[in-house]
Structure 1
Amino acid sequence: MPPTAPPIRAEFDPCATIPSLADLRAALRDDDWGTVEAYFDFLGHEDDRAVAAGVVDRMSTSQRFLERAVAAQPRSALARTLLARRYIVIGWDIRSAYTAEHVSAEQFQQFHAWLRRAEQLLIDVCAEHPTYAMAWAARLTTARGLGLGLSEVRRRHERLAEHHPHHIAGQSSLLQRLCPKWGGSWEEAHAFVHACLESAPPGSHAGRLVAEVHLERWLDDSDEGHSGYLRSGRVRDEILEAAARSVQHPDYRPGFDWIGDHNTFAGALCLGGHHREAAPFFRTLGNKATASPWEHVGDKEVQFLKHRRTALAKG
């Protein structure tokens, strides 16, 4: 009998597709702060540093490692910021992704306690290093979680944008705060993402924000008829125009964000039934996937592979 072909799988681990991130993770597991520090120093772009920091803060073993690093180098901006980011992840995992009415008082208490620990570290880093992008971006998340108000979140984003005007992780974080689920409005959210796109150079990551805001609006069950929102030809055309000005532009610099960029565009189009238009993004991706947006509609791997199959068949 002929050998059975291995099943087609989606690859969600960024370390499997960006080899240097695997080296970073290995250094964490080896308790090698020197290599971790050298790795972040080597990265030349803040967007790449943000992705690398995400690998660190999602590792459950990183908390003790980073606490030891901070104890050994208490003035290290990197060690303190990475530890603060880990505290944010711990807090948010306790809170969960449910809306506020489904989160208990005890969960909120623990959530806020972890965010306050993170905030104290970040306040000191930003005071000592006013241009430190990772710290200011993390403070956007703590401000949102602690309910510090939109004016304070905007102030922090302005401090970030003053030196890093197109920081995609920071822009995405502010977008979350501008959505109605966090007390904002769709008018504010759409205006923000279009302002980001208009001010960004051709080929930037900012086009992805347009797809993100449409996905957020589709997910918002407070909008009547939201399930058909992404099917709109107007929404489809906005997403495609944003892609043409970002990931499909000749000046696009992929960096570490490219997998997330293409998954976001592919997801926003597929979930609106625009599979033919999504095909180019899947051809670029191959089997490389991110949890969002696929996890919002079921098993992330099943959904990614199903929509990819349909898109490639049509496009």
Structure 2
Amino acid sequence: MTSTTDGGPTSTWGPTFDPYDNTPELIPLRGAAQAGDWPAVQAYFAGLGSVDELATASGLLADIHGVENFLERAVAQSPGDPLPRTLLAGRYVCIGWDIRSGARAQHVSQHQFAEFHDWLRRAEQLLIEICAEHPSYAPAWTTRLTTARGLQLGQAEARRRYDRLCAHHPHHYRAQTQLLQQLCPKWGGSWEAAHGFARECAIAAPDGSNSGALVALAHIERWLDLKIGEDAAYMRGAAVRDDLRNAAQVSVLHPAHRTDWNSIGAHNAFAFAFSLGNHWADAAPHFAFLGDRASEFPWQYVPDMKSSFVKSRKAALEARGGGIR
């Protein structure tokens, strides 16, 4: 194991996209979930220190195959507890989205949509009850942003749900990333709305917040929507570069930034966006922080994400005059 010039971990075998490798504190949760040990899962969540950690842990647990079995038992045993119901709803959403796939709507069959919506309605039924009983419960509202999008409930309803959450937990990064997706044209929004929301979040958040990464995510979504040739030109433009620079400076590159479980994803968003535009010197500090800690999103958008990450990191650190040592 070696390091970049700024101390981010690197290795001779290349980057890892495994969130548990990148955030080892989450490994006990995976073990407990895979074992179907609800008391251990419950104790793990009880020990978390913030709603952001709760959101990260909830999202990862929802992606573990088979956890719905012990979560359904936990809900039956503790029907008044919002945690097992929220985790189960999150798992139902993942099951439904796996059936739908990540394809654009025109490539999803009617049968897939029917199954997808069925699972999301199951989740929504749980979440409606939780939010009525616990109106400040952040993970339930955050998951309801995903169900609103999948069930096509519209921009106004998604924004209403976000505002309900924001009243109790402003600058909640995972919720912001969910609403940003809703505001993109592919889900009935507009580029004006998406970029406007991203900049609004970056400006309103305290210095050093991860929220500035929404600016990068909005530009990445715009790049995805452009034709080949137009996409590269867009990301290379000075306006996009400067927008990314400003957002990075007030967020993960600000002296007030304190590394948390969302920092890796935020730095990856900036590293990816700057790399798309060949703004290598701007990408360098993000790669230096990351070392080998890659995230599947957004690198999944390019062929051979591991190779793309390595090549981009090399170009960035060489542009800075450093490199990996």
Q: Return the TM-score normalized by structure 1.
A: 0.95
Q: Which whole-Å deviations, capped at 9, do the CAs of 1:136-194 have from their partners, x for residues lacking one?
A: 00001101110111111111001000000111111111111111111111111111111
Aligned to 2:23: 18
Q: Is the aligned partner of 1:260 residue 2:242?
A: no
Shift of 1:47: 1.1
Q: Which whole-Å deviations, capped at 9, do the CAs of 1:211-247 have from their partners, x for residues lacking one?
A: 0000000011379823321111111111111111010
Q: Is the aligned partner of 1:312 residue 2:323?
A: no
Aligned to 1:111: 116
Q: Given the alignment, which residue of 99, 105, 130 partners 1:100?
A: 105
Aligned to 1:41: 46
Aligned to 2:218: 213
Aligned to 1:232: 237
Aligned to 1:3: none
Shift of 1:8: 2.4
Amino acid aligned to 2:83: L
CA–CA distance in structure 1, aligned partners of residues 259 and 315 of structure 2: 25
CA–CA distance in structure 1, aligned partners of residues 75 and 309 of structure 2: 39
Shift of 1:205: 1.1
Aligned to 1:249: 254
Aligned to 2:285: 280
CA–CA distance in structure 2, aligned partners of residues 277 and 223 of structure 1: 23
Shift of 1:30: 2.4
Of the structure 1 ranges 242-251 and 29-38, higher mean CA displacement relative to structure 2 is found in 29-38
CA–CA distance in structure 1, aligned partners of residues 267 and 135 of structure 2: 32
Q: Is the aligned partner of 1:154 residue 2:159?
A: yes
Amino acid aligned to 2:25: S
Q: Is the aligned partner of 1:89 residue 2:94?
A: yes
Aligned to 1:53: 58
CA–CA distance in structure 1, aligned partners of residues 212 and 309 of structure 2: 21
Which structure 1 segments of 5+ residues have no match? 1-5
Aligned to 1:299: 304
The alignment of Structure 1 onto Structure 2 pairs a total of residues equal to 310
Asked if the contact 2:36/2:67 (under 8 Å) is kept, the reply is: no
Which structure 2 segments of 5+ residues have no match? 1-10, 321-325
Shift of 1:7: 4.8
Q: Helix, strand or coil for the counterpart of 2:242?
A: helix
CA–CA distance in structure 2, aligned partners of residues 134 and 311 of structure 1: 36
